A and B are shown apart, each in its own frame.
Chain A
Amino acid sequence: MNQKQQAHGISYGTLLSVLTTLLALTAITVYASQIDMGALNIWVALLIASTKASLVLMFFMHLRYESGLLKYTFTITVFTLAIIIGLTFWDVAFR
């Protein structure tokens, strides 16, 4: 148990580089929003947001170092949400 907890310890250096990446991605997404790509804009923005979210999850929230249980259940939750949004579109997209 104790050893496992030690393994969670992420060095300040790693955390700092994650923060730098997150800030860089923020700059990129703001820049990308200024370019007119039509319908693609929102998808680019969502893609960058998902990348940022994954970084926060993996490193700040330690998900990378957690057991399979948390990884799977988290994925299931996000998938459930995605499926629910998707199924709703069977209605709204065809009305």
Chain B
Amino acid sequence: MTDVKSFFETPAPPKYSGILSWLITTDHKRIGILYLFSILGWFALAIIIGLLIRLELMFIGETIFSPEQYNALFTLHGVIMIFLFIIPAIPAIFGNFILPIQVGADDVFFPKINLLSWYLYMLGGLLAIISLFGDGPPDTGWTFYVPFSVSTNTNVSLTIAAAFILGFSSMLTAINFITTIHRLKASQMKWMRIPLFTWSLYATGWVQLLATPIIAITLLLVMFERWFNIGLFDPDRGGDPILYQHLFWMYSHPAVYIMILPGMGIISEIIPTFARKSIFGYKAIVFSSLMIAVAGSLVWAHHMYTSGMSDTAVFVFSLLTFIVAIPSAIKVFSWISTLYKGSIQMSPPLFYALCFIYLFSVGGLTGLVLGAAGPDIHVHDTAFVVAHFHFTMFGGTGFAFFAGLHYWWPKLFGRMYNFKTAYLSGVLITVGFMFHYVPMFIIGLQGMPRRYHDYLPQFEQGNYLAGYGAVIMVIGMFMMLINLLIGIKKGAVTDSNPWGGVTLEWQVPSPPPLHNFVSEPKIMDYPYDFSRFFKKNK
């Protein structure tokens, strides 16, 4: 297997070399790597901005930033983390790299459109940077709520244009994945043989496809309002500002499932691999992915209980919100059941995956507090909400992303990272995480509002503690990233299957050759059948 040239050495199209061979490549693996480094760059930037916000909040009064600067910072943190990191991270990096291999294909169905969506991603990022200059960075928060987003004099139009373009990029990726799964999966790859990571991306793809256009039109309308003053959301002229919130959350609530579903897919790959045991409830997990995609699209208005919506709607959406908890719980139970009586082998990916299960469960359960209309009135727009969605988005998607990085890193680069540093950074991140967000739950319940530059004395202790947590967490994350990057150059060379995984990506060399498969892939009747692995070990 070692004499096969990896995709790093065989550019596609073949006539170009050097930097051009990357910039105009149509190879899904190279595009995945392009995404990896651009997304990690944005991630690092947004981490630092988040840390600065926390440092500002450590002490009462103005610490390092003026209130205006603070508003710009939390807007940027939100916009970058959501549109440039969480939404694209797992689908664009691992989806691009792993999905075609998992279904036994050479590449995605539309390789050129795949490259185009990377360029759109970069263009969106560029616009987001440009919007910092000129009239000043946007200060609306990532939600761009009217009327403030229409009336503020900062560069909101540019930021919105950036989000619009990034939405387009994510839509094109979704079209590519759905078409690839339908048309390019190997002939023996029946639907119930598809690995769960690919299944989760399929469900995500549909949500991206049907929800993203609504944010596109909503953002366009905000731009039109700023340019032409139509008044569609202006109550003086007959408009209804609450409708803006409806349209916004029609996308942005499904978007949280766009963020978490691929993460759940990664966990569903890692748990069986390191438990050496077939996943519990394969069909239930597939079904729950689809259920989450459907039910998650119908609960958007639970962000609006206090915005003046009708009481009937509050009741209906609260009820629907509770339904979404069911498929998420099915997944958590299935992962735990997979571990039960498994032959567990501890490794960095599994460590991050276990942290995911714990943190995501806390995030999910506090979500029920918010989904219930009564308690939500009390904690709406407090630090409790911020802690909740960081537990799901960061403790959930973020940790799944870290787990995925550690799981597929040897496949991407053919080299292993240092295990000890990986464990240590994992511990630092998790401990810092708890110190950071648990106090926020408490001060949130006590009434500390979110997005405030200053606060009352009784919240000082919690904010002070959260600042320390943030520092520990950020140190852990940079340690983890540096450890991985060092692994590319200096890590031990690995073979095609360092973990003993059974999905198709472990049948190809690491890193894979240009056309992915050296020989025809062997597709099993069931994607998580470890019996072959056990026979080999005896």
Binding-face segment, B58-66, B305-313, B441-449, B481-489: B305-313
Task: Tell me if A's interface is mostly helix, strand, loop or mixed.
Answer: helix
Known: A69-B182, A80-B210. A90 touches B316 (CB 8 A): yes
CA–CA, A81 and B96, complex, Å: 29
Is B298 in contact with chain A by the CB < 8 A criterion? yes
**What distance in Å separates the Cβ of B106 from its nearest Cβ neighbour in chain A?**
20
**What distance in Å separates the Cβ of A78 from its nearest Cβ neighbour in chain B?**
11
Number of A-B contacts (CB under 8 A): 37
Known: A77-B210, A80-B210. A90 touches B182 (CB 8 A): no
For B297, list chain A residues within 8 Å (CB): 80, 84
For B260, list chain A residues within 8 Å (CB): none
**Cβ < 8 Å to B, chain A residues 29-83:** 69, 77, 80, 83
Cβ–Cβ contact A84 & B316, under 8 A: no
For B243, list chain A residues within 8 Å (CB): 88, 92
For A93, list chain B residues within 8 Å (CB): 310
CA–CA, A94 and B309, complex, Å: 9
Cβ–Cβ contact B311 & A88, under 8 A: no
Task: Tell me if B's interface is mostly helix, strand, loop or mixed.
Answer: helix
Cβ–Cβ contact A88 & B317, under 8 A: no
Known: A69-B182, A84-B250. A91 touches B210 (CB 8 A): no
The contact size tier of chain A is 10 to 19
Smallest Cβ-Cβ distance to A88: which chain B residue = B246
Is A95 in contact with chain B by the CB < 8 A criterion? yes
Is A16 in contact with chain B by the CB < 8 A criterion? no
Contact with A along B308-337 (1 / 0, CB 8 A): 011111001100000000000000000000
Is B493 in contact with chain A by the CB < 8 A criterion? no
Cβ–Cβ contact A91 & B242, under 8 A: yes
For A27, list chain B residues within 8 Å (CB): none
Cβ–Cβ contact A87 & B310, under 8 A: no
Chain B CB within 10 A, most for which of A87, A88, A93, A94:
A87
**What distance in Å separates the Cβ of B526 from its nearest Cβ neighbour in chain A?**
24
CA–CA, A94 and B312, complex, Å: 7
Known: A80-B210, A84-B250. A91 touches B298 (CB 8 A): no
CA–CA, A49 and B301, complex, Å: 30
CA–CA, A88 and B313, complex, Å: 8
Smallest Cβ-Cβ distance to B307: which chain A residue = A91
